[in-house]
């Protein structure tokens, strides 16, 4: 019972953070709201017993990715008139209609999963050694490809962010 209440609180926090991200005109505030939402998602992982992913979520998402976002926002140092955020009323209407429709569809799918129950003890923690074994046996090729992608991304970022040479 307390688990359910806790989950509802965390879910409410995540949704409020997401709405705050969308409604704040300043991108820095948006980024901070998103950090809050990501923390709530980490809490959801914890409640589901995926403690390793919760830690990785906080380190990688809330730590690295959002700091990168804040870095870029501060690097660009936008003036208020450069935010580019004055959504057209029509855009708001259609956006709300379409995403509301999407929400209805997705939630009805979620409702259809009513018969599915968590197998075993829902609070049982994920066996991390088992996770590691899977990563380096069944998913070894995927790990190698992911490392290659990270390398390519690193090189690509350096190339993209480099100032173009004069006269080229």
Partner 1 sequence: MEAGIPLNWVLALSAVLFSLGALGVLIKRNIIVMFMSIELMLNAANIALVAFSKAHNNLDGQVIVFFTMTLAAAEVAIGLAIIVALFRLRRTVDADKATLLRW
Site residues for partner 1, window 35-94 (CB under 8 A)?
37-38, 41, 44-45, 47-50, 52-53, 56-57, 60-61, 64-65, 68-69, 72-73, 75-76, 78, 82-87, 91-92, 94
Which residues from 146-165 bind partner 1, rule CB under 8 A?
A: 146, 149-150, 152-154, 156-157, 160-161, 163
Q: What is the secondary structure of the chain as a DSSP string? A: -HHHHHHHHHHHHHHHHHHHHHH-SSHHHHHHHHHHHHHHHHHHHHHTT-HHHHHHIIIIIIIIIHHHHHHHHHHHT--GGGS-----HHHHHHHHHHHHHHHHHHHHHHHHGGG----S-TTPPP-HHHHHHHHHTTTHHHHHHHHHHHHHHHHHHHHHHSPPPTT-
* Minimum distance of partner 1 from residue 167's CB (angstroms): 15
Sole binder of partner 1 in the list 1, 43, 144, 166 (CB under 8 A): 1
Q: Counting contacts by CB under 8 A, is residue 136 touching partner 1?
A: no
> Quick one: which H or E segment has residue 13?
helix 2-23
Closest approach of partner 1 to the CB of residue 166, in Å: 14
User: What's the closest the beta carbon of residue 10 comes to partner 1, in angstroms?
Assistant: 9
Number of residues in contact with partner 1 under rule CB under 8 A: 90
If one asks whether residue 106 binds partner 1 (CB under 8 A), the answer comes out as yes
CB of 9 to partner 1, least distance (A): 12
């Amino acid at each position: 019972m307390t688990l359910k209440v806790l989950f509802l609180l965390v879910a409410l926090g995540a949704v409020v953070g997401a709405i705050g991200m969308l409604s704040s005109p300043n991108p820095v505030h948006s980024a901070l709201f998103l950090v809050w939402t990501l923390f709530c998602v980490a809490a959801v992982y914890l409640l589901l017993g995926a403690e390793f992913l919760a830690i990785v979520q906080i380190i990688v998402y809330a730590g690295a990715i959002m700091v990168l976002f804040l870095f870029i926002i501060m690097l660009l140092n936008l003036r208020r008139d450069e935010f580019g955020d004055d959504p057209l009323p029509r855009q708001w209407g259609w956006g709300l209609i379409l995403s509301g429709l999407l929400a209805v569809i997705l939630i009805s799918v979620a409702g259809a999963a009513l018969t599915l129950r968590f197998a075993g003890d829902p609070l049982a923690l994920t066996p991390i050694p088992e996770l590691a074994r899977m990563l380096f046996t069944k998913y070894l090729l995927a790990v190698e490809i992911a490392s290659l992608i990270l390398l390519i991304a690193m090189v690509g970022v350096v190339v993209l962010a480099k100032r173009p040479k004069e006269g080229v």
